[in-house]
């Protein structure tokens, strides 16, 4: 069974939510989409909802996949889904240094983690 890491492309209006890593040292300061590992017996959508609750203290509705899977070092795959905030939820940086909302014209200027950088064209298209 392939190991899957899910990520949420949370769009509100025409802005995408990104978060800045606090650790480990080699990733600290870089930006990524919210998400994490799919646990055994968990659907990808359930994992994404759980990760958003843990990392951002929010509820999301999970939509369609965005872009192609990104193969990660070690063989896991990163799979991104479009997502939307449940009404009234305000994201908080629970496990990260900072949060930021960015527009389509800012996506390519972000200092992304390498895996997320591969998704720039797909994220720009999602926001267009």
The string of pLDDT tens digits covering residues 59-88 is: 999 999 999 999 998 999 999 999 999 988
Fold classified for 4-127: Nucleoside Triphosphate Pyrophosphohydrolase (3.90.79)
The token duo for 26 is: 């080699």
- Which pLDDT tens digit goes with each residue over 6-32? 999 999 999 999 999 998 999 999 999
| Residue ranges in 32-128 assigned as alpha helix (H) | 44-56, 114-117, 120-127
Sign of the torsion angle spanned by Cα atoms 87, 50, 20, 62: negative
pTM: 0.94
Average pLDDT over residues 39-54: 97
Q: pLDDT at position 95, please?
A: 87
pLDDT digits (tens, 9 = 90+) for 95-108: 899 999 999 999 99
For the chain, the domains span 4-127
Residue 39 phi, psi (nearest 5): -80, 155
């Amino acid at each position: 069974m392939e190991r899957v890491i899910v990520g949420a492309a949370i769009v509100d209006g025409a802005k995408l939510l990104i978060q800045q890593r606090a650790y480990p040292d080699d990733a600290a300061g870089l930006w990524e989409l919210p998400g994490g590992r799919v646990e055994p017996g968990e659907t990808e959508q359930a994992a994404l909802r759980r990760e958003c609750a843990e990392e951002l203290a929010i509820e999301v509705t999970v939509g369609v996949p965005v872009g192609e899977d990104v193969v990660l070092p070690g063989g896991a795959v990163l799979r991104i889904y479009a997502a939307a905030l449940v009404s009234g939820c305000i994201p908080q940086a629970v496990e990260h240094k900072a949060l930021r909302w960015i527009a389509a014209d800012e996506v390519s200027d972000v200092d992304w983690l390498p895996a997320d950088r591969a998704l720039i064209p797909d994220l720009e298209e999602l926001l267009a």
